[in-house]
Amino acid sequence: MCKLFFTIYEKSKLGTIIRKIHGPILNLIHPSYNLFNALALKSGLPGTPVFTFSTEGQDEVKIMPMGQHLDSHGEGINSLDKLKEDFVKKDGKIEWIMKNRLIEHKYLSEFVAPEGPIRIHHLPVAKCLAIGGGRNRILALMNVGFCNAKQLKEAEWDEQNKEYVNGDITINYPGKPVWDDIPPGTDRQGWVDKTKRWDDAYAQGLRFKVGELYEAIFT
């Protein structure tokens, strides 16, 4: 009965409509959690230059947008049109989110345990979010009406298995690190507080937002 309800709720677009009403209200109440205003880390558009900044004692940190990492999305995805198709096609990313997360009423961490939930950093100086791991999932969720991170459930840490469970996102606050890649490399993980790192990038000119990426792909 529960699955039938959510199937009707989502396939009728009622869920999307309600989220698109609820999200902007939350953006007024919690503006720093606005997903469209979040920094799009390591993301860009074709032709975006490499961005460099200094932080945490490192002389130079590079963010290489590489055209929204088109080359890492799979064979044949070499343009924004192809990237959009990868989201909206039958059995694409958006349909996957709809079928496996929303209709099944389950959390993203239940499907991507090795990768974990979407990793979000809350930046106190920039007064916005920065989206780390899970960019494609957040774009798919935004397409079905999510506008504010408060609409998503924060995952819980499973100490025994060293992974997040029962949630969609995990938020890195100052003094409350997340289990993530340890900069500057990505070959090991541990507890990391990246809020200062991305606040420093913002202070030194990083302004590209998830909303701009969303508009470029979906419009």
CA quadruple 73, 76, 79, 83: dihedral sign: negative
Closest CA to 39 of 156, 167, 125, 158: 125
Q: pTM of the full predicted structure? A: 0.91
What six digits make up the tokens of 179? 């289990």
Angstrom distance (rounded) from CA 71 to CA 98: 25
CB 109 within 8 A of CB 165: yes
Containing structural domain, residue 194: 2-218
Angstrom distance (rounded) from CA 145 to CA 152: 11
Q: Provide the residue-wise pLDDT of the chain in tens; the chain has 219 residues.
A: 588 899 999 999 999 999 999 999 999 999 999 999 999 988 878 777 889 999 988 888 888 776 555 555 556 677 788 889 989 999 899 999 999 999 998 988 777 656 678 999 999 999 999 998 788 899 999 999 999 999 999 999 998 988 889 999 999 999 999 988 776 666 778 898 999 999 999 999 999 999 999 999 998
What six digits make up the tokens of 120? 């979000």
What is the SS3 assignment for 81? Answer: helix
Angstrom distance (rounded) from CA 174 to CA 68: 28
Angstrom distance (rounded) from CA 135 to CA 139: 6
- DSSP bridge pairs for 165: 156
Number of domains the chain is built from: 1
Angstrom distance (rounded) from CA 13 to CA 1: 19
User: Scanning the structure block, which residue is given the tokens 């609409």?
Assistant: 151
- Rounded to the nearest angstrom, the gap between the alpha carbon of residue 170 and the centroid of all alpha carbons in its chain is 10
CB 117 within 8 A of CB 88: no
